[in-house]
Chains A and B, each alone.
Chain A
Amino acid sequence: MSLKNDLEVLRDQGLTQIKATESMKDLNDIRVKLLGKKGPITNVLRGMKDLSPEERPKVGAFANEIRDTLTTAIETRKNSLEAEALNKQLAAETIDVTLPGRQVHVGTSHILTQTMDDIEELFIGMGYQVVDGPEVEEDHYNFEMMNIPKNHPARDMQDTFYITNELLMRTHTSPVQARTLEKHDFSQGPLKMISPGRVFRRDTDDATHSHQFHQIEGLVVDKHITMADLKGTLEVLAKHVFGAERTIRLRPSYFPFTEPSVEVDVSCFACGGKGCAVCKYTGWIEVLGAGMVHPNVIKNAGIDPDVYGGFAFGLGPDRFAMLKYGIDDIREFYLNDIRFLHQFNTEG
């Protein structure tokens, strides 16, 4: 049984060597030495021909067992050496994850654009069209079609930059409504539109006045549009812009192009209506004007006011943005300080 002893010694020595190996190269050498074609186990197996037929299978099986044991040990050691090597490499590759990332420069859209986009998308979703119109407008569309004849006291409400007696910088985006109403074919369905854009007033620029600002006006005309519809629409708008908890209230007012005319207040988003500095302790903030389209405006567009009617509203994106973001000087919008503009680079 010396052969078996030899094998056992071989196994024990082999296992010790394998265990002690620290490099892949050494491990490979050991593998070749122990298990290679010239290795001791192969030798044992080769020497089997000298054994008796009874011993042959026993020794053979034992030799195979030893070979498998060593092979497994080498494999295990190899895995563990590889893992060690990888861990070493990973350790060496460690970086400071707190270093700043590579800069990606993305521009910001102007806060007024964001404010208008937000409102435009709301109304697009409700089936309105967005209509642009000229910024240089005729007196006819800016005033007369809107039921503000020459020398009407209401012209005082909108100090105007004139270019000629008949041509002016539009003071509101209502003339876009007049132009659209005039062209609209009601056999194709109702008119639902908003008209956003730049408007101009003959004002001296200060914290609360700007000779250039923006407006979004809305108009819905069909055979049966009610003031309740106006109230509902404005409530959707107020909740969309100022938060789902907001409520609105209407107060009587006067615009030559609507009758009845109302001012619309929204419950204060800063205090929820309890009263604070933002709402001047009233719980309400005036945000827009609205009303039922004046029959003269309908008539001026060549439409029968006994059959068709509707509502209109007008709001100031500048004012909306000032309220929403606590901006206290309207000139900020047009001075374009990059630090001011970049604050609004988040959604929300």
Chain B
Amino acid sequence: MKISYKWLQDYIPLSEDPDVLADKVSRTGIEVASVIRPETGLKKIVVGHINAMAPHPDSDHLNICQVDVGEAEDYQIVCGAPNVAPGQNVIVALPNSRIAGNTKIKKSKMRGVQSMGMICSLQEIGFSENVVPKEFANGIYVFQEPVTVGAPVFKYLGMDDIILDFDITPNRADTLGMHGAAWEVGAMYAEKPKFETNDLVETGQSIANELSVDVTNKNLVPAYYLRRIHNVKLQPSPMWLQTRLWNAGIRPINNVVDITNYVMITYGQPLHAFDANKLTSDHIVVRQAQKKETLETLDEVTRQLSTDDIVITDDSQTPIALAGIMGGKQSEIDGNTTDVILESAVFDGAAIRKTAQRQNLRTDASTRFEKGVDTSAIIEALNAAAALLVKYAAATVDQGYLTGQAIKPQAVTIPIKLDRINHILGTSLTLDQVIEIFHNLGFGTAVTDGELIKVTVPPRRWDIHIEADLVEEIARMYGYDRLPVSLPKVAMTPGEFNPQQKFIRHAKRQLQSAGLSEVISYALTTEVKATQFKMTQLDQLTKLNWPMTEDHAYLRLNLVSGLLNDIAYNVARKQTDLAIYEQGRVFPKPEQQVRPNEVEYLAGAITGLTQSPNWLEPKQAADFYTLKGIVTNYLATLALKDAVVYRATDRYSEMHPGRTADIYIGDQFVGFIGQVHPLIAKQYDIHETYVFQLDLTKLLEMPNQRIVSQPAPKYPAVSRDIALVVPENTTNAQIDAVIRRRGGQYLQRIKLFDVYQGKNIATGYKSMAYSLQFQNPEDTLTEGVINEQMTHILDYLKSELNAEIR
């Protein structure tokens, strides 16, 4: 809401610097987003009178004007506006003046003719397109009221005013009217605002003779009043009114419409004017819209109505307005209007909000009805508008008003104790201080027992209805800067992360120390990317009802696709060596559920080089085993009771069928690791990439080994190496299993140190070399014991795996 400083001065004596005022308002009540001085940056712009005009000899649209700008001689100014004419008082930017956009106007020649400045439109001196009266929208502005030639234009156009832009929160709709704003500002300065009104003289007949009204849906229309106006003389509004409107951001249209808007910004109460002669009946009915009804609104859009909408109708037949939002085109006030029905009403905020949302039509009126209006000002606003119509449109007003639905504005009384205020704020305010603040706000008070205050809040502050609201009024008016500073004095509570939070933080630290950097991707993605790499086959996708874009329409079932997006983004920027991970949630939805589950996942991806070539080391490309090492090391830190098992799998269509393993803890599936399928990599536009994905929620639930300290071994360990030649499809896991099973009680560690295929090894075979470590914690192992065990192992490797010893 744009608040005019001058207008405020009509209500309260104000001499404060507007910037200081703005800061004070911001600190005590409503944020002032900016202080606007419309004439800032403009200079040497004066009223000119066009004495004579002749067409430019070398142009079909330019005119040469002789303009009196208050100097001894007329200025010759070339003007191309279609509406320029002799006799007009116009806005002249003199040579060396500044107009909007800091543009400098100089003496110039236009097609050979000297031009001493420029005749301006309102837009050219900084007016927004939205507020320029239609008749001047495509041309220069022409003054309608007497002005002094040669004088600066600013005071005539209201540009010498200062506008405070109130950024009003939904609860303070009371300041969506100048009266409310004056109360708010007045409270800060302990000044009670004074409002003057024009007395309404009703010279017409009794309204009941001419008009009747019915409100059928009274629960949605808490108040409905009409007045009947005759003999309206439609014309532009007086300048003072036009300037107030455009400074408030509203376009002047004609005196009738302008007066309804002026009253709206004065009282915060939206009004509507119907052209009475365009109605077929003299019976107004307010009701719910019916199915399939339509209405063309003032913005020339034909709207399909719903039964949730409230409409004003002509004898219940034709809708003539979308209640509380916008009038109908058919009953619009126009140049021929003489008879007006004026409406002042209250419509249910939730209903208006719903309709405005569905119709995508937010207006000054709907905003106010949504947030509430001052119920004590409804009739006052109606009468004020009628009085202004008498004064500025020579109207005759019928006697009395019609009541479709009456409202009884009620003050609210809220009891509050002084110590309750101090208890909540941590202050030690006195009764006098508190009462003074309430009085400044215009609230009534009655004190009993020296501490209980019964506060009477007028209807214009409908945002206040409970004790906490009063506490806020005290706090902000007393000043937040003056509140003391302390920390909660409460019983001690332990502050610590819970087991899951610790588990997740541990996982992140492990991966970071292994060289992976954390990324955060979007949880909402495309349908395809949401389902790729999913680990639970039965779970379904969850879709947003009204996504903004298809790119973010589904809740992800995996983290890998996000990582691949990130890799693609980096690769496109020539960052090809990457090691990243994400920890976050996925949202699998079992078929019978509406709500998806939320499961904590951990996923990582590596691509390119893990070691770029340098003077010490050759380059090293990321491969399956690099990532497997990282995952294995991480899992080892969890001290899981059951063994980690990698089982080759080809079940993921997005993964390389020969280079992917499911990861099990014992017999529990917890994730997978492998190379992204080359076709998928191509789709993402990335190179060879290895990924893993783990279900952290499952891992957290896995049984752990309790760590029991063992003394460091006293007796030396003994190592034996063996090299085996085995058929090439024999896996490490098979060999490992045999050795482990036959290794005896002293076998401690098996380490694969060489895998070889090629020269000296028959085709279809490979050589695998292991180092076995034995240890007896109780005694030194003898050669005999170890030799016996090794023979045992080798025998089984031969018989079970056809292994040959090299």
Contact = CB atoms under 8 A, between A and B. Distances in A.
B354 interface: yes
Given A109-B508, A228-B483, A259-B468, A190 B493 contact: yes
Nearest to B173: A153
Interface stretch (A22-30, A40-48, A244-252): A244-252
B187 to A, nearest CB: 12
Interface stretch (B119-127, B611-619, B678-686): B611-619
B521 interface: yes
B596 A136 contact: yes
Contacts of A294: 468
Contact of B578 (A163, A292, A338): A338
Contact of B472 (A124, A125, A136, A252): A252
Nearest to A224: B423
A211 to B, nearest CB: 6
Contacts of A236: 487
A225 B490 contact: yes
Interface in B399-457: 423-427
Nearest to B468: A259
Given A250-B480, A252-B476, A338-B570, A162 B169 contact: no
B491 A226 contact: no
Contact of B595 (A161, A167, A192, A253): A167
Nearest to A113: B518
A335 interface: yes
A89 interface: no
A163 B553 CA distance: 10
Interface string B155-177: 00000000000000111100000
B698 interface: no
Interface stretch (B537-545, B660-668, B715-723): B537-545
B580 interface: yes
B488 interface: yes
A190 B497 contact: no
A191 B788 CA distance: 66
Contacts of A106: 512-513, 515
B566 interface: yes
Given A107-B518, A212-B522, A227 B545 contact: no
A273 to B, nearest CB: 14
A309 B426 CA distance: 13
A292 B468 contact: yes
A100 interface: yes
A255 B755 CA distance: 67
B595 A226 contact: no
B800 interface: no
Interface in B328-375: 349-350, 353-354, 370-371
A96 B480 CA distance: 63
Interface stretch (A57-65, A74-82, A195-203): A195-203
Interface string A204-248: 100000011000000010101111110111011000000000000
Interface stretch (A2-10, A11-19, A127-135, A172-180): A127-135
B31 A251 contact: yes
Interface string B562-576: 000010011001010
Interface string B467-508: 111011001100011011111111111111110110000001
A337 B519 CA distance: 9
A135 B495 contact: no
B486 A226 contact: yes
B484 A228 contact: yes
A162 B545 contact: yes
B10 interface: no
B27 interface: yes
B610 interface: yes
A189 B521 contact: no
B594 interface: yes
Most chain B CB neighbours (cut-off 10 Å) among A124, A154, A254: A254
Contact of A151 (B30, B169, B350, B508): B350
Contacts of A233: 487-488
A100 B543 contact: no
Interface residues of A, number: 84
Given A136-B598, A190-B493, A334-B522, A102 B616 contact: yes
A108 interface: yes
Nearest to B475: A260
A157 interface: yes
A342 interface: yes
Contacts of B427: 228
A105 B508 contact: no
Given A107-B513, A127-B494, A229-B486, A254 B579 contact: no
A229 B426 contact: yes
Contacts of B596: 136
Interface in B588-612: 594-596, 598, 610-611
A110 interface: yes
A341 B425 CA distance: 43
A111 B269 CA distance: 49
Given A227-B426, A231-B483, A235-B485, A222 B544 contact: no
Contact of A341 (B476, B519, B573): B519
Nearest to A255: B169
Contact of A123 (B171, B353, B495): B495
A190 B426 contact: no
Contact of A227 (B466, B483, B547): B483
A145 interface: no
Contacts of B30: 252
B324 interface: no
Given A127-B492, A135-B585, A259-B468, A341 B518 contact: yes
Contacts of B552: 211
Interface in B510-543: 511-524, 542-543
A337 B573 contact: yes
A102 B523 CA distance: 38
A107 B516 contact: yes
Contact of A337 (B31, B424, B545, B569): B569
A255 B594 CA distance: 30
B26 interface: yes
B548 interface: yes
Contacts of A249: 27, 480-481
A94 interface: no
B520 to A, nearest CB: 5
Contacts of A337: 569-570, 573, 575
A169 interface: yes
A156 interface: yes
B141 interface: no
A121 to B, nearest CB: 9
A212 B569 CA distance: 18
B28 interface: yes
Contacts of B581: 107
A103 B611 CA distance: 8
Contact of A338 (B480, B580, B584): B580
A232 B584 CA distance: 33
Contact of B497 (A130, A235, A252, A341): A130
21 contacts: A99-B615, A105-B611, A107-B579, A108-B512, A110-B518, A124-B496, A129-B495, A130-B497, A135-B585, A153-B353, A153-B371, A161-B545, A161-B547, A225-B490, A235-B485, A250-B481, A252-B475, A259-B472, A337-B569, A338-B575, A339-B573
Given A229-B426, A341-B519, 16 more contacts: A105-B610, A108-B517, A120-B497, A134-B598, A136-B587, A153-B371, A162-B546, A198-B523, A204-B548, A222-B490, A227-B426, A232-B485, A254-B170, A337-B569, A338-B517, A338-B578
| In the A-B complex, the 10 residue pairs with the closest CB atoms | A228-B426, A226-B426, A254-B169, A105-B515, A260-B472, A151-B350, A250-B480, A107-B512, A336-B519, A107-B517
Interface of B: 26-31, 169-172, 349-350, 353-354, 370-371, 423-427, 466-469, 471-472, 475-476, 480-481, 483-498, 500-501, 508, 511-524, 542-548, 552, 555, 566, 569-570, 573, 575, 578-581, 584-585, 587, 594-596, 598, 610-611, 614-617
